Structure 1
Amino acid sequence: MTEMRLWAVVVTFDRRDQLAVTLRRLLESDPVDLAGILVVDNASTDGTGAWLAGLKDPRLRVLTLSRNQGGAGGFEAGLRHVMEKTDARWVCLMDDDARPVAGAFARFRARRREDRAAWFAAVTYPDGAICEMNRPLLDPFGSARSTIAALIRGRETFHLSPDAFRASDPVDIDGGSFVGAFLSRRAVEVAGYPDGRLFIYGDDTTYTLQLGRLAGPLGFDPDIRFEHDCGTTIAGTPIRPLWKVFYLYRNRAMVYRQTVGRALGTAIYLGLGAVWRLRAGRYGTDRAAYLRLWRAAMSDGLAGRLDRDFDAVRALISGSGPGR
């Protein structure tokens, strides 16, 4: 069995009940399999900080941020802390509503891992169905032919086949999500850190694609299982809370340009932007607010700007303030 020092990083904001389930699962892990746990509290307002302060376990650390920096900012801060303040050789990232299935860390230790810069778990909903938002990524843009096929076939071209979840052997992938992501210290030293300015959406995609390109191959291991107890978004329904519209649309520009290059990525972004504009009618009385968010997202996305903070984004909803 391979000797390694594994730390878990959990980012949380105002979901104490979910965090409690996740921490209970993590603390049940054998200390040989999981050396430490860092909870990054994104300035929660629901009593999470006081609750965490009452927990006593030598493996548990808490990093409390002065303001909510979103999942992206939380993962950047947490990863930096573990890299700088611990002797971890591997770091496993997860949301507060995601957690390893029993035995996941022991299975990670049981196999030689040094031949990959990072490994990604098979993530399912509690009922066992594949969690689509956490399905590992494939980069279909290696050639003009595969790019055309990707644009025609859509989502399935970009994600690992469901058959891989039922297989017994690991496979190579090009990227993944920050749920059940096992990053090696060497890979982080080579590729750097996630960009916290993205706040939410796309931060894991852009970072893990970069990780694979700079630090080496990435692997998906179906034997390592995670459970994500998240609410699902039904395709075609309005995005809520409304401020998420800005980050979802703005950050798509960064994802498309990273995968297919600036020219084609911008063209794809503009085409989808026109589609997103047409969705305003779904928002009823929030139509004007949606359009303000859409315009700001498209403007910042095309300019590559990441300097609009969370308060400025929320100000766009009411139309108050400068919006930056």
Structure 2
Amino acid sequence: MSPDKKIVAVVVTYNRLDQLKACIQAIRNQDGATCDVLVVNNGSTDGTAEFLSGCTDSGVRFVDTGENTGSAGGFYHGVKEAYEAGYSRIWVMDDDVVPDATALKRLADADEFLEGDWGFLSSFARWKDGTPCKANIQKTGVFSFVGDRDRHLGLVPVKIAAMASLYLNADAVKQIGYPIADYVIYSDDYEYTSRISEQFTCYMVPSSTVLHNTAVNMKVDFARDSPDRVWRYRYLYRNDVHLYRRYGAKGWAYLVAKAGFTTANVLLRSKGDRIGKLRTLYSSLAEGLRYEPVVEETSKGRSSQG
């Protein structure tokens, strides 16, 4: 890897120390490519801070947010810290992602093949049983996802991807700014990658593979989720309106369809407070209509990594 393409892996963690250790070990044991590791400790209370403070690996450093800022806040801090430190490539992931041994090399190979002319590259994320991780399937458009046949191709053009092994080009970060911390949770990765793909060509790299150790292999289920978690969905539906309204008629069609499907799902499948959930849904959608978060631009000055 040439000095002008110094890589850092940004790992956001919150109270999952065992999974964090497995993630760091997998990153540091990559074959054919190497990188530094920057851990964003999102206010963990499970001994993560003590573990990181005592880490003797000079290639691993950390920043502590002091509180749980949500996934969006964690990735904002991580990407900003990495960019301002002068890294040219920023490899972003959650703490429950375990990259396969050649995951980074495959991304670096794609980078070289494309001669740096790309915004982000995204790995194939599988679940524990080997099937695609449903929360991490890349999108090729507002309504379309990468399919099984596409994964046999060398590179797949995509528009939206999750931050489960997302490889960022610092040139794209410089131009479009940082992730929106105010998203808190849900759709922050979709918003950021869609913003990048509006100005850069972006790809899935099927040969770069990772394991995503989520508890279950499913997308969020508002209808069946417990009452104590309903507050989280305010961010999902608010953020989705902000994200998809930028796509014009297609985006609005998606939002109307999603609102209708979610309403029916709550009425037919929810065992909890149906009225309360529907109130959360529609108040959040309404909030999204007037939601205008600020995108922080990058600073002009950067450190040099080499």
Q: TM-score, normalised by structure 2?
A: 0.84
Aligned to 2:301: none
Tell me if the contact between 1:238 and 1:282 (Cα under 8 Å) persists in the aligned partners.
yes
Equivalenced residue count is 285
Aligned to 1:28: 29
Identity of aligned residues (%): 28
Tell me if the contact between 1:6 and 1:33 (Cα under 8 Å) persists in the aligned partners.
no
Would the alpha carbon gap of residues 35 and 198 (structure 1) be closer, same or farther in structure 2, given more than 3 Å must change?
Answer: same
Q: Which amino acid aligns with 1:248?
A: L
- Return the alpha-carbon distance in structure 2 between the equivalents of residues 234 and 119 of structure 1: 22
How far residue 36 of structure 1 moved from its aligned partner, in angstroms, is 0.9
- Return the alpha-carbon distance in structure 1 between the equivalents of residues 236 and 59 of structure 2: 35
Q: Which has the higher helix share?
A: 1
Tell me if the contact between 2:17 and 2:48 (Cα under 8 Å) persists in the aligned partners.
yes
C-alpha RMSD of matched pairs (Å): 2.5
Would the alpha carbon gap of residues 103 and 208 (structure 1) be closer, same or farther in structure 2, given more than 3 Å must change?
Answer: same
1:51-200 pair list within 5 angstroms: 51-85=51-85, 87-111=86-110, 112=112, 113=114, 114-139=116-141, 157-167=143-153, 169-200=154-185
Matched, 1:273 2:253: no
Aligned to 1:245: 233
SS in 2 for 1:63: strand
- Return the alpha-carbon distance in structure 1 between the equivalents of residues 129 and 212 of structure 2: 10
- Return the alpha-carbon distance in structure 1 between the equivalents of residues 219 and 185 of structure 2: 19
- Return the alpha-carbon distance in structure 2 between the equivalents of residues 235 and 178 of structure 1: 16
Q: Which amino acid aligns with 1:135?
A: I
How far residue 302 of structure 1 moved from its aligned partner, in angstroms, is 2.2
SS in 2 for 1:45: coil
Tell me if the contact between 1:137 and 1:173 (Cα under 8 Å) persists in the aligned partners.
yes
Aligned to 1:300: 287
How far residue 97 of structure 1 moved from its aligned partner, in angstroms, is 0.6
Tell me if the contact between 2:134 and 2:218 (Cα under 8 Å) persists in the aligned partners.
no
Cα distance per residue 1:151-208 (max 9 Å; x no partner): xxxxxx41112112233x1122222111111111111111111111111221111211
Would the alpha carbon gap of residues 207 and 235 (structure 1) be closer, same or farther in structure 2, given more than 3 Å must change?
Answer: closer
Aligned to 1:220: 204
Tell me if the contact between 1:42 and 1:68 (Cα under 8 Å) persists in the aligned partners.
yes
Tell me if the contact between 1:239 and 1:245 (Cα under 8 Å) persists in the aligned partners.
no
Tell me if the contact between 1:245 and 1:290 (Cα under 8 Å) persists in the aligned partners.
no
SS in 2 for 1:80: helix
Would the alpha carbon gap of residues 132 and 285 (structure 1) be closer, same or farther in structure 2, given more than 3 Å must change?
Answer: closer
Structure 2: runs of 5 or more not aligned: 295-306
SS in 2 for 1:40: strand
Would the alpha carbon gap of residues 285 and 121 (structure 1) be closer, same or farther in structure 2, given more than 3 Å must change?
Answer: closer
SS in 1 for 2:172: helix
How far residue 21 of structure 1 moved from its aligned partner, in angstroms, is 1.2
Q: Which moved more, 1:181-190 or 1:105-114?
A: 105-114
How far residue 108 of structure 1 moved from its aligned partner, in angstroms, is 2.7
Q: Which amino acid aligns with 2:150?
A: A
How far residue 115 of structure 1 moved from its aligned partner, in angstroms, is 2.5
Aligned to 2:44: 44
Select the structure with the greater relative contact order (CA < 8 A; seq sep ≥ 6): 2
- Return the alpha-carbon distance in structure 1 between the equivalents of residues 279 and 41 of structure 2: 30
Tell me if the contact between 2:135 and 2:217 (Cα under 8 Å) persists in the aligned partners.
no
How far residue 2 of structure 1 moved from its aligned partner, in angstroms, is 6.0
Aligned to 2:11: 10
Aligned to 2:304: none
Q: TM-score, normalised by structure 1?
A: 0.79
Aligned to 1:312: none
